[in-house]
């Protein structure tokens, strides 16, 4: 029987953490306010980190902390203090890029497991062996490593160290994310956790003797995306990736919403569970799984470098989304017997929605709702953040309602 890897999902917020755990993550990764490469998704400090770790462990999942910034000498004391706080909070590992920082952690905080970040650009077996000799438990391979190279690397290494690879989410135009474009244009360095993602901006070419006259590079109706890579989606080759022997499959997205995390986690969880049954079961459901991934905000995708060179970057278009986050189930209201929901977007009584649960997605018909704040019975409500009551059978806290994407500007 095929060995199923760990499903590792992003937790850029408390809501995303809960969504990842609810929809089947084996492990989650999140950051503190400092020392990670997503400065604006670092929410787990102090009591917040301890609470997040407890939440993950209560769900029989692991919690990894990102500390993959490249620290300067004058930051190392604070870096060590943060690592000690993470260890005290009970995290299962820290994710680190810099070799000097790894060496320092192994010496000063020896009981804290270390995973080597993809930012370390590890692409060959000797490099993995070096990190193993330094005492690291896992190496997150660079996105540039092909499936065949992963397979051969695993054969050479055996079970002496774990290998992790990305399977889904945004990709960077720079080598494993080591990009200076943001620092040059905005003063915010991606290697310091502050990337402004200028590769996602729209660009044009201007000829020297035609100042002010701009020429598109690779334009569609959404704009021109000169530097922007396609998203990564390895769902179609998931069985081959599992057979290659990786220990962990990582979903990118600490800057994404809890709805995105729920959709992608749920799809990959279902895919991995199907693989425990048989390859035939997975192949049979693959079209539906691919369709499910279209329901969250995404860009055009390919398999990255796993099967060869990726698609032409200039062909990457803007974002698409086939379903919209409507409400999150909070639980049952004992007084009325109805379901309490946290409203995210407008829907209408009588409309067919979809209910996302860990067991799958099913259609439901929206009934009239009660606005909890006022007790009004309504056909619709468009105030995000309001709590509403509605008849919704066979659901549990954490489930998600979604519906058609609307034009909210009208």
Reading the block at residue 209, the tokens are: 């003797």
DSSP states of 47-60: HHHHHHHHHHHHTT
Q: How far is the first Cα of the chain from the last one, in angstroms, to the nearest whole number?
A: 53
Alpha-carbon radius of gyration of the chain: 22
Burial (CB count <10 Å: 0-12, 13-18, 19+), residue 157: middle
Question: Cα 26 to chain center, whole Å?
Answer: 13
Instruction: Give the pLDDT confidence score for residue 37 in this predicted structure.
Output: 60
pLDDT at 183: 72
Q: Which residue has the tokens 């059978």?
A: 393
Supply the pTM of this predicted model: 0.89
CA pair distance 188, 182, nearest whole angstrom: 6
Residues paired with residue 251 on neighbouring β-strands, in sequence order: 168
User: Which among 185, 138, 135, 183 is positioned nearest to 159, based on CA atoms?
Assistant: 138
Residue 175's pLDDT is: 62
Note the pLDDT of residue 277. 94
Q: What is the pLDDT of residue 46?
A: 86
Please give the chain's pLDDT, 410 residues, in tens.
678 999 999 999 999 999 999 999 999 999 987 776 665 555 788 899 999 999 999 999 999 999 998 899 999 999 999 999 999 999 999 999 999 999 999 999 999 999 999 999 999 999 999 999 999 999 999 999 999 999 999 999 999 999 999 999 987 766 666 676 777 678 777 666 677 777 777 777 777 788 887 765 655 555 555 566 788 999 999 999 999 999 999 999 988 999 999 999 999 999 999 999 999 999 999 999 999 999 998 878 888 889 987 765 545 556 788 899 999 999 999 999 999 999 999 999 999 999 999 999 999 999 999 999 999 999 999 999 999 999 999 999 999 999 999 865 43
**Domains of the chain listed by start with CATH number:** 6-175+229-315 (3.20.20.70), 324-403 (2.40.30.10)
């Amino acid at each position: 029987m095929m060995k199923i890897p760990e499903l590792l999902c992003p937790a850029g917020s408390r809501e995303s953490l809960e969504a990842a755990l609810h929809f089947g993550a084996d492990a989650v990764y999140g950051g503190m306010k400092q020392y990670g490469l997503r400065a604006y998704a670092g929410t787990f400090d102090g009591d917040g980190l301890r609470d997040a770790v407890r939440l993950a462990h209560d769900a029989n999942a692991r919690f990894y902390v990102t500390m993959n910034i490249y620290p300067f000498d004058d930051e190392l004391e604070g870096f060590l203090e943060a690592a000690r706080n993470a260890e005290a909070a009970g995290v299962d590992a820290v994710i680190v890029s810099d070799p000097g920082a790894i060496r320092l952690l192994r010496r000063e905080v020896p009981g804290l497991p270390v995973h080597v970040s993809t930012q370390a650009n590890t692409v060959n077996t000797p490099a993995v062996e070096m990190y193993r000799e330094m005492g690291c438990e896992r190496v997150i391979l660079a996105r540039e490593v092909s499936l065949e190279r992963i397979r051969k690397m695993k054969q050479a290494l055996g079970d002496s160290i774990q290998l992790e690879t990305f399977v889904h989410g945004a990709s960077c135009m720079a080598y494993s994310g080591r990009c200076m474009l943001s620092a040059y244009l905005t003063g915010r360095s991606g290697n310091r956790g502050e990337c402004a993602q200028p590769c996602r901006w729209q660009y044009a070419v201007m000829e020297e003797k035609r100042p002010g006259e701009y020429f598109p590079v690779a334009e569609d109706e959404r704009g021109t995306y000169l530097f922007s890579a396609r998203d990564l989606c390895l769902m179609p080759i998931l069985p081959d990736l599992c057979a290659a022997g990786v220990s962990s499959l990582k979903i990118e997205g600490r800057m994404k919403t809890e709805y995105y995390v729920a959709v992608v986690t749920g799809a990959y969880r279902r895919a991995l569970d199907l693989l425990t049954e048989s390859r035939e079961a997975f192949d049979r459901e693959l079209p539906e799984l691919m369709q499910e991934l279209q329901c969250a905000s995404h860009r055009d995708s390919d398999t990255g470098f796993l099967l060869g060179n990726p698609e032409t970057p200039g062909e990457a278009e803007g974002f698409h989304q086939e379903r919209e986050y409507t409400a999150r189930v909070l639980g049952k209201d004992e007084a009325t017997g109805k379901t309490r929901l946290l409203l995210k977007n407008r829907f209408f009584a009588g409309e067919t929605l979809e209910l996302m649960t860990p067991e799958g997605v099913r259609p439901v018909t929206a009934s009239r709702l009660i606005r909890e704040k006022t007790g009004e019975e309504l056909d619709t409500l468009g105030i995000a953040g309001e709590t509403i009551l509605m008849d919704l059978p066979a659901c549990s806290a954490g489930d998600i309602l979604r519906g058609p994407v609307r034009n909210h500007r009208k």
